[in-house]
Structure 1
Amino acid sequence: MKNLITISLTIGVIITLLLTPSETLAQFKLSGKVEHLQQADTIQLNIPYLYGYYYENIKQIRLDKQGNFTADIPLSTTKFATLMYHSRLWTIMMKPGKQLEVTINSTDTTLSTFKGSIAAENKLLYQVDAGQKPAFIAAGTRGNNSYAKGTVAEITEKVIKPQLKLGETRVTQVRASALNTADKRLIAQEIRTETLNWLNFFARGIMNVNKADLMGLYKLLYGSIKPEPDVLPAGPQFYQFADDYIGYMESQAVIYMQGLDKAKANTTPVPYFNVSFDDAIALAKSKGKLYVNWLAVKNTYNKPVAEAMLAQFINAKCSEKDLTEARPLMDEMINLYPQSKYRPQLAARIANMQSALVTNKSNEGIHIIEGFEKINSIYEIVNRYKGKVVYLDIWGTWCGPCRDELRFVPELKKQFEGKNVVFIYLDMDDDIKDAHWRDFIMVNNMTGIHLRKSNADIQKFWDELQPDKNKQGSYPTYFIFDKSGKAIINDIKRPSNKTLLYQQIAQYL
């Protein structure tokens, strides 16, 4: 007998608090039941800030023993979200004051029932496969994906052009529906840009292409369109498209700059970015690559889209707790959009990071080794802690996976609180990033022992820790040292592995 999950999304129009002086939040009530539930389970809902997946935006909705669940979600406007159950994802449309009931078959994880005042919109999204991985993505990763085999010209004819055509067919299906004109335009915009987003991911992340071929693919995908929305506020697929479009602008700028002689190339303003190449490099080092991306957005996109993208950039840096790179972006928000609806929430997040920075500068649990510049071997540090187990984290402030692992570290440290375990962090950042590194440690409350090495200087540490050259330079990488100071090399787990890592550390105590 097929297990069915009945999900009913009920929106009560309960105005609870102010988002800005002109916007109010209404409670979007998500409730339902998993029939014939065999074990504890959860449903997840990703409600993006503008686009993308950030842990803080994913709501975990627990099912009770009978399979019932309920969750209140405040909304101020129409939002697209991703409903997640096990490995399946569905795009759903949410509106304040509307109702939706969906039935999910838990055997084949398909949707079969749509009821409520926003049922028609969501049934259409399901029919046009919104949010679903297309076959050319689901077929595998780089090197083992059958759709990515062949020359670029062959793949273009076999995959890319047919997918672009299929995307337009889906858009036509949306436009032919009985929905109101505003919703059709919004959904069509999401479907068209979603097609481009999947193809961009395929070209950059799965195909084996050189830079010249990638630029050609960019031209095919983006050469005849611009990041100008048909409907505002736009949905997450449009804003993801606007982000991907930055890559196209970079490719066009490179082509232009390559046509200049060397004397002019370093001083001529780079198209879209309107700063010289040398200045762009300097800004990336001092304010971050995202700030340089922002210059292209500011100079190219219309004001509402640019404002929204800037808010997303700031929010992303706040999510990473990177105060150094969030500040200059926030300065742009204050100067260019002083009345922005995004400003109050972002300013509060910045203030929280600044408070953490001040507080943790006097945190005795955070120890930056004095004179770390002169240390030439990790064992100069590890040997100071013989009799204790050492967990070494080799990371960098620039490394996304490294930053993501940090959210699991408090639970790891709580697991070994009061026990003979020492946490050492070996950061790889060049000297120009020293202040950034120090502030990042404080803002993220990274208790433990810290030292930093440049890309050139860290190589000697890799040589002594990892004899296999093919495994060197992977960030993050972790090592355990036993109480005698001996390094344990084989398959040391990450903080996100939780119990598996806890067991590894515990066996050496």
Structure 2
Amino acid sequence: MKKIQSLKLSLYYVFSLLLFLTVKPSFAMQIDTTAIVAGTAKLTGQVTIPKGVSKDNIYVKVTVAHPISGEFVKYSVITDSSGKFSIDADVETTTSLIHFSTTLNPNKSLLVKLKSGEVTNLDMTYNSGFDIEKFNITPQMNQNDMSRFYNIMGNMITYVPARKLEPLYNKSIEYFLNYNKTGLSDYLLIAKNDTLISEELKSLLHDEFRLFFYKGAIFDYHKAMIANFSNTNNNKDEKPIIQKIDKSYYRFLRDFKLNDPKYLRLPTFLEFQVKVLENETLAIPKIDETDIPTWLKNVKGILADLVGFSDGQYYDILVANAYGRQLTEELRPLTEKQKENIQNYWGDGEIAKILLRKNQKVAELDKFKSPVVINDVSSITPERVIETILSKHKGKVILIDLWATWCAPCLEAMQRFRPAKAEFHDKDVVFVYLTNHSSEPKLWEEKIKGIGSQQYYLDDKQWEYIMTKFEFEYIPSYLLYDKKGTLNNKFSAFPENDEVKKMLNDIL
């Protein structure tokens, strides 16, 4: 099967690994202690390019982490004729560290600090090659910290340790945990030894990568052992015997001291929380319409010994994240009973305000969400899968999305496209989603609740045939058919919403 080339990295870093800027430092970056707030922050600025250089439709893009509702929220605006832009962003903490880039050079990104209720201004100048020549920010930040954060994080993610890879699948669980804990220190040295960034940013990178490392390399023990066996065993036909774990495996959570409010500023904390809530071994129940004190009593019975505490802000965040899974993953509004439970527990507190604000937006999108339709094509030959899809939707414009549950860019694209997709709810457009066995069935069933529309779960031969026939090398990839069933366009990587909307409207 052709290898699907997709970076299985954090959503937050996938577009930022190649950043390299050299600028003079200003002063130490202050990493403020942050608190929870249902706030907004404004980012203004101007993008300047050399005279005589033409570039249409310059987009400014920011990603804001929402640690309470548990979502990365994307904002994208076009600069005006003079290069000016303005973005009003919802924030969930008094201070938020956001990802900033423009379409002039998406791989050159900046770390920008926003404060709730305040305005941050960022002016940028690009040279003729669309590299960032200079930038100025008010209130001031350390420019090396801003420009080097994603570069350093990318270097840590892609670092290959010098120590020889050894079999771990046949070792004790304690050995595995200690092996990784020791190995982590080599990755952390990359940030520690950087001479251009502030000590404050080094601390931030230490905490952020530590979460990222445990989330990706340790949390799923079974996957880690399968990968280790594959990488250290020459007998590919042999299947390893992986020992079973119980919830005591997750005692490493105690080392994180998760009640510390510093985690609110870390983007990977959102994804770390998802791992906790969705883990089959921990088996934390869905919150549904259970009253919050009862749900918390059950959850503390599972987690208290593992995290090392039975009270504190962490549990309130976890409750909010549990509601957030419903709102952001399933795109399912809160029930009246759930809203009552939230108000009974938090009153008019900031977490309640955040959840109800998010719910209002989800309720608007839910009006236009198509129900999930799971289509069975298991008996269809690979050559006839697309033909079968076209036949089912004759006379419709059809946009086919090839994706996977593990593909961060795929999921990010779907989230970005939600508002635009809703605009076509009453038009002759059908949205079709194809995935294959690389998407775990149970996770796929959960994900498609929030996607809706026409869903297909292909076998490997069907998937491989489509990827090869249309010369796709990675996902997300897309096929666009007009009402006559003729292929109008095919492309990989999701463009701007406006571009996709134009493609659809042009053939309606």
Q: 1:148 to 1:350 in 2, by over 3 A?
A: farther
Q: Which residue of 2 aligns with 1:307?
A: 316
Kindly state the Cα deviation for residue 285 of structure 1 after the two structures are TM-superposed: 13
For normalisation by structure 2, the TM-score amounts to: 0.53
> Which residue of 89, 100, 110 corresponds with 2:109?
89
Matched, 1:164 2:188: yes
Per-residue CA distance 1:110-131 (angstroms, 9 max, x = gap): 6866675x42x5347348x434
Kindly state the Cα deviation for residue 77 of structure 1 after the two structures are TM-superposed: 2.3
Q: 1:413 to 1:147 in 2, by over 3 A?
A: same
> Which residue of 325, 331, 337 corresponds with 1:322?
331
Q: 1:465 to 1:308 in 2, by over 3 A?
A: same
- Structure 1 vs Structure 2 CA RMSD: 6.8
Per-residue CA distance 1:137-174 (angstroms, 9 max, x = gap): 575xxxxx866995259997997433323445679985
Aligned residue identity for 1:347? L
Matched, 1:225 2:255: yes
Aligned residue identity for 1:163? Y
Q: Output aligned runs, 1:379-394, within 5 Å.
A: 383=391
Aligned residue identity for 2:315? A
C-alpha distance in structure 2 between counterparts of 1:496 and 1:335, whole Å:
42
Q: Which residue of 2 aligns with 1:45?
A: 62
Matched, 1:192 2:222: no
Per-residue CA distance 1:287-307 (angstroms, 9 max, x = gap): 9xxx99x94896446531232
Q: Which residue of 1 aligns with 2:44?
A: 30
Of the structure 1 ranges 188-197 and 406-415, higher mean CA displacement relative to structure 2 is found in 406-415
Q: Which residue of 1 aligns with 2:414?
A: 405
Q: Output aligned runs, 1:65-464, within 5 Å.
A: 65=82, 67-71=83-87, 77-85=94-102, 86=105, 87-95=107-115, 106=127, 109=131, 118-119=139-140, 121-123=141-143, 125-126=145-146, 129-134=148-153, 136=155, 151=165, 160-168=184-192, 174=198, 189-197=203-211, 199-200=213-214, 203=217, 210-211=225-226, 225-228=255-258, 230-231=260-261, 234-237=264-267, 239-240=269-270, 243=273, 246=276, 273=282, 295=299, 299=304, 300=307, 302-312=311-321, 314-315=323-324, 317-323=326-332, 333=342, 337-350=346-359, 353=362, 383=391, 401=410, 404-405=413-414, 408=417, 423=430, 425=432, 446=453, 450=454, 462=462
Kindly state the Cα deviation for residue 81 of structure 1 after the two structures are TM-superposed: 1.9
Q: 1:430 to 1:35 in 2, by over 3 A?
A: closer
Query: In the alignment, is the contact (CA less than 8 A) between 2:45 and 2:86 conserved in 1?
Result: yes
User: Does the residue aligned with 1:47 lie in a helix, a strand or coil?
Assistant: strand
Q: Which residue of 2 aligns with 1:264?
A: none
Gaps of 5+ in 1: 6-19, 140-144, 176-183, 255-269
More helix by share: 1
Query: In the alignment, is the contact (CA less than 8 A) between 2:97 and 2:113 conserved in 1?
Result: yes
Per-residue CA distance 1:394-438 (angstroms, 9 max, x = gap): 7799987368437548868989997xx763747889999999899
C-alpha distance in structure 2 between counterparts of 1:195 and 1:434, whole Å:
27
Kindly state the Cα deviation for residue 196 of structure 1 after the two structures are TM-superposed: 1.6
Per-residue CA distance 1:7-64 (angstroms, 9 max, x = gap): xxxxxxxxxxxxx9x9796864522452525334233332322399967432436253
C-alpha distance in structure 2 between counterparts of 1:245 and 1:305, whole Å:
15
User: Does the residue aligned with 2:255 lie in a helix, a strand or coil?
Assistant: coil
Kindly state the Cα deviation for residue 235 of structure 1 after the two structures are TM-superposed: 0.9
Kindly state the Cα deviation for residue 346 of structure 1 after the two structures are TM-superposed: 1.9
Query: In the alignment, is the contact (CA less than 8 A) between 2:48 and 2:126 conserved in 1?
Result: no
For normalisation by structure 1, the TM-score amounts to: 0.53
Q: Which residue of 2 aligns with 1:257?
A: none
Q: 1:104 to 1:305 in 2, by over 3 A?
A: farther
User: Does the residue aligned with 1:342 lie in a helix, a strand or coil?
Assistant: helix
Q: 1:203 to 1:242 in 2, by over 3 A?
A: closer
> Sequence identity, in percent?
10
Query: In the alignment, is the contact (CA less than 8 A) between 1:46 and 1:83 conserved in 2?
Result: yes
User: Does the residue aligned with 2:151 lie in a helix, a strand or coil?
Assistant: coil
Aligned residue identity for 1:164? L
